[in-house]
Amino acid sequence: MTAPAPPRPRAQGVIHDLGYARYAGERRPPSTLWHVIMRQHLAYAWKTRWRLKPWIVGALVITVGVGVVLYVSKNSIVGMLSQRGVGPTWLTAAIPYAYQWYRIPAFMITMTIGAAIIARDRETGAFTFYFSRPVRPLDYVLGKLTGQLVLLATIFLAGPILLALFSVGLTETTSDALTQLKTLPKVLAIGTLGTFAYATLPLAFSAMAPRRAIALAVWAGYYIMVAKIIAELGALLWLPLKAFDLGSAMEAMAMRLFDVSLPGEEHAPLWAAIGSLLVQGAAATAAIV
């Protein structure tokens, strides 16, 4: 008989020196983490073809169209009426009308991004990724909210400001230019409140919904049906209630500040329009936080 083979010695583990070196790059303080989330939000919005880009193009088309109206009105009407002292009124009239159109791409941005983003993160389990790192819930909320404010500002602030500056450039005298320059703070006020309301409300619906489809359905129902019905009842019963609809509130604020009226249509008082945008935006912010 042959002797059994001797047992093989166990292989011993070998530790390889991987050349570990302590991280020497930039260390961000926790208070700036919301910047990263904001940039990620903007990158997500710009990533595909249908989330943001068509609505930015739509806002640009609206701006160019209203600018053409301003230019044509200046050359064909204002030049004839400026001697009677009503020239600047024609230049300012086109700007508040533009908000009727700007709210369309703004609503589409709320549908493709705003009302879906937080519910999407919850549905896909992204919160595990976020909060496994030193990211506070406040950082997440602040990053998403700031990013959405930037997106809506491209609609409600960029276009109207360009139109206001363009109307100043169309004037022929220094006095008319100074008069037109007064439209700039009005445009800033309308755009700021509109951006605030249109950014926060969809995010609030998204934060409270368990799934993205539910958030989109509830937000669309609120904006298209509930707010419109309340606004129509306000037109019949109590005019300030008409400002419950965000679009109607922005339109009323613009018409009141620019002292322009549509034939046969009554707008909500200025205080009701401002109050509606502020209160709904503040309530939505509280719901998100």
Q: Which pLDDT tens digit goes with each residue over 117-157?
A: 998 888 877 766 666 567 788 888 899 999 999 999 999 99
Angle between helices 183-208 and 212-221 (to 10 degrees): 130
Question: Does residue 8 fall inside a structural domain?
Answer: no
- Of residues 1 and 133, the one with the higher pLDDT is 133
Q: What range defines the domain where residue 280 resides? A: 32-288
Q: Is residue 22 part of a domain?
A: no
Question: What pLDDT is attached to residue 126?
Answer: 72
- Do the domain assignments include residue 223? yes
The number of distinct structural domains making up the chain is 1
pLDDT, position 48:
83
Does residue 96 belong to any structural domain of this protein? yes
Query: How far from 100 is each of 18, 48, 251, CA to CA, in Å?
Result: 63, 27, 7
Torsion angle defined by CA atoms of residues 179, 153, 99 and 54, in that order, rounded to the nearest 10 degrees: 130
Tokens coding 38: 């904001």
Q: How many residues does the chain have?
A: 289
Establish if 2 belongs to a structural domain: no
Alpha-carbon dihedral angle through residues 107, 108, 113, 116, given to the nearest 10 degrees: 80
Q: What's the one-letter identity of residue 55? A: W
In a domain, 16, yes or no: no
Give the span between the Cα atoms of 72 and 264, in whole angstroms: 25
Tell me which residue of 49, 98, 92 sits closest to 73, measured CA to CA. 92
The reply to whether 123 falls in a domain is yes
Establish if 17 belongs to a structural domain: no
Model confidence pLDDT, tens digit, residues 46-92: 988 888 999 999 999 999 999 998 888 766 554 454 445 444 455 66
Render pLDDT for 218-265 as a digit per residue (tens, 0 to 9).
Answer: 999 999 999 999 999 998 999 999 999 999 999 999 999 998 877 777
Q: Going by C-beta distance under 8 Å and a sequence separation of 6 or more, which residues neighbour residue 186?
A: 254, 257, 258
What pLDDT, on a 0 to 100 scale, did the predictor assign at position 130? 63
Lowest mean pLDDT among 129-143, 164-178, 259-273: 129-143
pLDDT in tens, 10-54: 656 566 656 656 656 666 666 678 888 899 999 999 988 888 999
CA dihedral over 184, 103, 115, 220, signed as positive or negative = positive
Handedness of CA 78, 79, 81, 87 (dihedral sign): positive
